[in-house]
Chains A and B, each alone.
Chain A
Amino acid sequence: MHPIVRTVIQRLLMGLFTLFVVSLIIFSSIELLPGDFGEAVLGQAATEETVTAFRRELGLDQPAYTRYFQWVAGVVQGDFGTSFSGRAASGIDRSRDVVDLIAPRLENTLFLAVMTALIAVPLALFLGITTALYRNTIYDRVVNAFTLTTIATPEFFVAYILILFFASLYQVFPSLANIEQSMSFGEKIYRSALPSLTLTLVIVAHMMRMTRAAIINLLASPYIEMARLKGVSSRRVILKHALPNAWAPIATVIAFNLAYLVVGVVVVEVVFVYPGIGQLMVDAVRTRDIPVVQACALFFAGTYIILNLVADIIGIITNPRLLHPR
C-alpha cells in the first residue's frame, strides 16, 4: 500500500476512535446524574409511578452498555431521544423530540458560522501573509497591536461594544439577531451582521497571528534563503518555494480557528439572542435538560474532531516525504 494511504487510514481510524471515546463520555453523563433527578425533572409533586415510568422510558432499568448501543444506534439514525422539558408531575408529556428542537437551530448556527468563515478566513490569511512579508513595518505593528487587544478581550465585550455603537448610538444594525425561517436571505444576513462581525473580529485576530507565525517560520528555512540566492523573484519564492510547504500549517490554522468559531458561537448567540444551537445548549444546561445537552455536545465535539481530522489529512497528503517515499 502506498504509505500515504496507510497514514491517512491510520489517521482516520484514530479520529473514529476519538469520536467513539467522546460519545462514550457524553453518553455516560446521564449515568452521573444524581439518583433523584427524576423528581427534579418532573417536579416535587411527581408520583412514584410517573417517576418509575420516566425512568423506564429512559431505559434506566437496563444495563448501561445496552443503553449505550441503543443510544448510538438512535444517534446514527438521527434520533437523539426526547427532551426533558415540557414534562409535568401529573404525567402529562408535552416534551418534544430533541431532533425537532435542534434541526432548525442547527441550520441557523451553520448559517452564522459559514457567513463568518467566508469573511474571516480570507481576511485572516491576507493579513497574516502580508504582515509576515512586511514584518516590523508600521502596518505590521498596527495590525499586531489591534489583534493582541482583540484576543485578550472576552467575546461578549466585543459584542456589546459593537451593539453600543452600531445598534444603540447609531442604529445601523439590529441588536437582536432573531432570524426566522421565513425571512429572505438578505434579511437574514442583515440581522446576523453584528454577531458575525463579533465572531470575525475574534477569529481573525487568532488566525492572523497564527498564519503570520507559520509564514515567518517557513520563510526562515534555509531552502527559502537558497531560492533567494538563486535570484528567484520574491513572488516566485512565495508561490513556488514557500506555498507548497505551507499547506499543512495553513490547514492547521484554519481548522483550529473554525473549531474555535464553533465554540465562540455559543457566547455570541446568547448575546444577540440568536436562535442557534449554542443558545439552545446554554438554556438546556440551565434547565438540566440532559438529552438536549448531549445532542449539542455531540454536535460541537464532532465538528471539532472532523475539522482537526481534515487539517491533519491535508498535512499528510501535501507532505513531499510521504508523497514520494524513498
Chain B
Amino acid sequence: MSETETYSATAEVAQVRQRTSRGKRIWIDLKKAPISAWFGLIVISIYGLVAVFAPLLAPYDQADTSFGAYLPWGDGHLLGTDQIGRDFFSRLIYGARNTIGIALATTLLSFLVGGSLGLMAAISRNWIDQVLSRLVDVLMAIPSLIFALMLLSIFGSTTWGLIVIIAILDSTRVFRLTRAVSLNVVVMDYVEVAQLRGEKLGWVMRREILPNILPPLIAEFGLRFSFVFLTIAALSFLGVGIQPPTADWGSMVRENASLIQFAKYDILGAITPLLPAAAIALLTVAVNFVVDWFLHKTSGLKDEH
C-alpha cells in the first residue's frame, strides 16, 4: 500500500446521519412529505376529531325523529332531514363515529388474530404452520363479502357479530402478510446470530423480528382498514350491516337514495344521499395516500423512471 493513501476504517465513506430525537425525525420526514400525504394526514385528523367529539358537534341526536321527513337544506337543518325526520347533518357526524369506530375495532381484532398467528406460523414452520396456512387458503377461496353475508344470515346482524365476522375473515389476509414478512426476517443471519447466542424465543421475537416487520404491518393496517371500512359500508348499504337507529354512512345512502330521482327538481336534495358515500370515498383516498407515502419512505422504494 502506498504512503499517500493510508487506510483508516473510521474514514471509510458511509452515509452518516446527524442523530436526532425521534420527534424531530418525524417532523423532518413530515416536512419532506408530498402534498398528497399531507392532504391525507389532515383529512384523517379531521375525521378522527369529528368521530371523537361527535356528541359535541352534532346539533341533534342521531335517533331524534321529532322533525318532518325530507325537510330541505337550511332552516335549522343544515342538510335537511331524512326519510323519517332525523337531522341529516347530525347523523352524518355520528356516522363518522360509528362507521370509523366499528371499522377500527374490526381491523384491530383482525390484526390481533392474524398477526399473532402469522408470526407463530413463520417461526414454528412445523405442522401448526401447515394447518393454519391450508385453513387460510380455504377461507380465502370464498369471497369475503359472500362469506360475511352467509355468516350474517346465520348469526343475525348485531354490531359485535359484524365486528367478529369481518375481523376473522379479514385476519386471513393479515395472517398471510405477517407470515410472509416474518419468513423474510426469520431467515436473516442476525436471527441466526441470536439463536447461536442462545437467546430465548420470546427475546428473538420481541427484539429481532418484531421491529423489522412493523413497517409493512403498519402500512397493511392502513390498507386493511380501508378495505374493512368499505366492506362494512357495503354491508350496511345492503341492509345487513350496522342496524338502525345507529347512524352509519352505508345505510344512510340507501335510506335516502330515492331522492336522487328528483335531481331535476331539487339538486341539493339529490346530493344529500351522496354525501355519506363521498365521506367514505374521501377517507379511503386519504388513507391510501398516507400508506403510499409511508411505504415509499420505509421500504426505500425508488421512483421508477
Contacts and interface: CB of A to CB of B under 8 A. Distances in A.
A21 B138 contact: yes
Contacts of B274: 157, 160-161, 164
B143 A282 contact: no
B188 interface: no
A216 interface: yes
B304 A293 contact: no
Interface in A224-262: 259, 262
A117 interface: no
Given A21-B138, A157-B278, A301 B146 contact: yes
B238 A282 contact: yes
A164 B270 contact: yes
Interface stretch (A69-77, A145-153, A182-190): A145-153
A33 B143 CA distance: 22
A29 interface: yes
Interface stretch (B6-14, B122-130, B152-160, B203-211): B152-160
Contacts of B156: 288
B254 to A, nearest CB: 8
Contacts of B305: 136
Interface string A122-157: 000000000000011000000000001101111111
Interface string B268-294: 001101100110110011001000000
Given A155-B234, A163-B260, A293 B149 contact: yes
A172 interface: no
A197 interface: no
Contacts of A301: 141-143, 146-147
Interface string A278-309: 00011011101110011011001100110010
Nearest to A301: B142
A304 B253 CA distance: 29
A18 interface: yes
Given A155-B234, A160-B260, A281 B149 contact: yes
A4 interface: no
A270 interface: yes
Interface in B227-247: 230, 233-234, 237-240
Interface in A52-78: none
A106 interface: no
A22 interface: yes
B240 A154 contact: no
A282 B235 CA distance: 9
A164 B260 contact: yes
Nearest to B257: A160
A288 B151 CA distance: 10
B142 A297 contact: yes
Nearest to A26: B150
B150 A164 contact: no
B260 A168 contact: yes
Nearest to B148: A285
Interface of A: 18, 21-22, 25-26, 29, 32-33, 135-136, 148-149, 151-157, 160-161, 163-164, 168-169, 175, 216, 259, 262-263, 266-267, 270-271, 281-282, 284-286, 288-290, 293-294, 296-297, 300-301, 304-305, 308
Leading 7 A-B pairs by shortest Cβ distance: A157-B277, A168-B263, A152-B284, A285-B153, A153-B281, A152-B285, A300-B146
Given A152-B281, A168-B264, A267-B238, 15 more contacts: A21-B138, A33-B154, A160-B273, A164-B271, A168-B261, A168-B270, A169-B264, A169-B267, A266-B149, A271-B257, A282-B238, A285-B149, A293-B153, A297-B147, A301-B142
